[in-house]
Chains A and B, each alone.
Chain A
Amino acid sequence: MIEIRNLHAGIEGTPILKGINLTINTGEVHAIMGPNGSGKSTLSKVIAGHPQYEVTEGEIIYDVNFKKVNIIDLAAEERAREGIFLAFQYPVEIPGVNTAVFLRAAFNEICKHQGADEMDPIDFDEYIRSKMKILEMDEKYISRAVNVDFSGGEKKRNEIMQMAVLNPRFAVLDETDSGLDIDSMRIVADGVNKLRNKNNAMLVITHYQRLLNYIVPDFVHILQDGKIVRTAGKELALAVEEKGYDWLKEGK
């Protein structure tokens, strides 16, 4: 699905990612853990194509129409239309923009891109309501401005609801569990699990092992100082939760 090769990237001349290698196959869920400042969020933004980050070396190879394509030069919206999704750590509030209108615009961009007919507002309304049910979201949010006056938990649910609407092939979840109480986290994790299937793949970035009891990953990677220093199964998450990250430092 996606293969990151020797990826180096930074912002305003400061290198943050220093040679990431990561391959994620269709149907897999990978988790990335790591201390603050290790480059987790940068990696998510670079995959999604944030224009402020500069890729200095390496490639991101992604399957587009059964061909392997380096997407480094594609704009964020072009990557999104090819099925790459980023659930934000801090979802952005958009005052004055109605959630349903916004998501229909997004959804219809994908339709256009795939040469399909656009969905009309009435059909879309039904479609979005079915997705909100998965996340146990109150339907009143449909007509509210995107993320405005949403609580932290509601914003995170809204991210996964958007993922459900856009149905991406590859989703990056950036600390979707941070700041959530256990009930909200379960709802979000259940939502993610319902979206998981053999045709898509996910990269789950988190600080806390707890999430991985609910979204069980096939692989866990530890990111430190811009590099993946260890890869193993889900038990690795338990080990770092217990022992911290120091024992994984390079050279140890």
Chain B
Amino acid sequence: MLTMEQNISPFIDTVQKYSAELNKNNSPDWFKKVRENGLSRFTTLGIPTPKHEDWKYTNLAVLSNTPFKPAARVALSFQDQIQRICAKDEITIVFVNGILNEQLSSLDNLPKGLVLLPLNKAITEHETQIKELLSKYKPTEDTPFVAFNHALAEHGIYIQITDKTVIEKLIHIVHVTQSTEASLTTASNFIILGKSSEATVLETHVCFDQSVYLSTPLTDIVLAENAVLHYCKAQSESLKSFHVGNTRVWQERDSHFDGFALMNGGEITRNDLDIISNGEGTSSTLNGFYGTNGKQHVDNHSSMDHRLPNCTSNQLYKGILNGESHSVFNGKIFVRKIAQKTNSYQLNKNLILGVNCRVDTKPQLEIFADDVKCTHGATIGQLNEDEIFYLQTRCISKKDAVKLLAHGFVEDILNKIQNPAIIKKLTILLEPTFAALE
């Protein structure tokens, strides 16, 4: 007969060990409780297997055999690359291996109405706000990696914008990883927008070498009444990395969430975006692009929960697949019974350029109201022969035509981003995707 110890995978063992170590430090008791609850939920749930409907196409079994350790403090060797994606006229917050690097960040002279604190300070100074935010989610609804993140929550950034404040500068959170052994990073970020406030936040996850790591960032966002957030999560990581991230968005009435996700892939990338529209008159944009090559695997899961009437959501995710890569798109839309006059649109378009790629795309609509407009669609295809011919008759070689059309496929979605500085940065992060076209 097996004993309990033998049943617990080394992975869970690792999480238990490090979570317990964190709770030995001097965090407030309530936050220790958050870790304990996260740990107990993750221990129960474990690493999801493809038997679980939400994880059918993404197998994380490889994690259980990798001896991960919390990422260590390092001197970053890639400061030039960081400089390329940062700018002087933005508020930059750089985390190296999950740890805030004040030297690379620009945290001085913050505009009025903007609170920006590292997590360890925020949990004492903004306990009420964080507790209130966390209380919005029933623990049973948590995905395993939200629980995982809570179990190991230590680093992250807390951003709060005062009512009626518009922050013009881009707030850019950079997570860069550089590690010689298999490491773990868990960023826990909070973005809280007050009534009628507006901000633009870019969260980038980058790695400039072949580090092996598991990154499990969680960003919790709350938009108070009439607030507007332009939020982009962009990822271009090591081809040996695993990214299992969550972004949760809570929208109060008349707020607008304008979201974009760029998933340029590690070895396995899973990104969950969950939006709860908890007020009338909200609008939500969920756009995204993924570019994959080699044996990369990218899985985008989104959930749009319309809980009240007169709300709109628009979603367009596009992807280009090269090599033998695999992409997954799963778009849930819930329209609750009272959420009449909901207008919800979803489209997923995949362009396959490789010979041995795989796409799994799945719309998942659950509509309980009877006066709504919901449409969804998905396309998977190669470049159209007539399009290529058209370019050829305009003197452009077949090879260049393919490149131009693929670029156009990307530009088309990038152009939906309003902030030109973000487009510029994403274009840099997309270099591997464009290089694969050469």
Contact = CB atoms under 8 A, between A and B. Distances in A.
A194 to B, nearest CB: 20
Given A75-B398, A80-B394, A106-B395, A51 B408 contact: no
Contacts of B408: 94-97, 145
A137 to B, nearest CB: 17
B395 A166 contact: yes
B contact patch SS: helix
Contacts of B391: 94, 102, 106
A121 interface: no
B415 A109 contact: no
Contacts of A233: none
* Among A45, A76, A81, A86: residue with most chain B CB under 10 A: A76
Interface in B366-396: 384-387, 389-396
Interface residues on B, range: 20 to 34
A96 B395 contact: no
Given A52-B385, A88-B390, A105-B404, A95 B409 contact: yes
B164 interface: no
Interface in A62-116: 75-77, 79-81, 85-86, 88, 91-92, 94-98, 102-103, 105-107, 109-110, 113
Contact of B411 (A85, A97, A106): A97
Interface in A20-56: 45, 48-52
* Among B384, B387, B390, B401: residue with most chain A CB under 10 A: B390
Contacts of A85: 393
A96 B415 CA distance: 8
A86 B390 CA distance: 9
A176 interface: no
A162 interface: yes
Nearest to A111: B395
* Among A48, A96, A97: residue with most chain B CB under 10 A: A96
Contacts of B395: 77, 80-81, 106-107, 109-110, 113, 166
Nearest to B409: A96
Interface residues on A, range: 20 to 34
B411 A96 contact: yes
A113 B412 CA distance: 30
A107 B396 CA distance: 9
A86 B410 CA distance: 27
B386 A162 contact: no
Contacts of A162: 394
A215 to B, nearest CB: 20
A105 B400 contact: yes
A236 to B, nearest CB: 29
B407 A96 contact: yes
Nearest to B387: A92
Given A77-B398, A105-B396, A92 B404 contact: no
B397 interface: yes
A117 B320 CA distance: 34
Interface in B403-423: 404-405, 407-413, 415
12 contacts: A75-B397, A76-B392, A79-B393, A88-B393, A92-B390, A95-B409, A96-B411, A97-B405, A97-B407, A97-B408, A106-B395, A107-B395
Given A94-B390, A94-B405, 8 more contacts: A77-B396, A77-B397, A96-B410, A97-B407, A98-B411, A105-B400, A166-B394, A166-B395
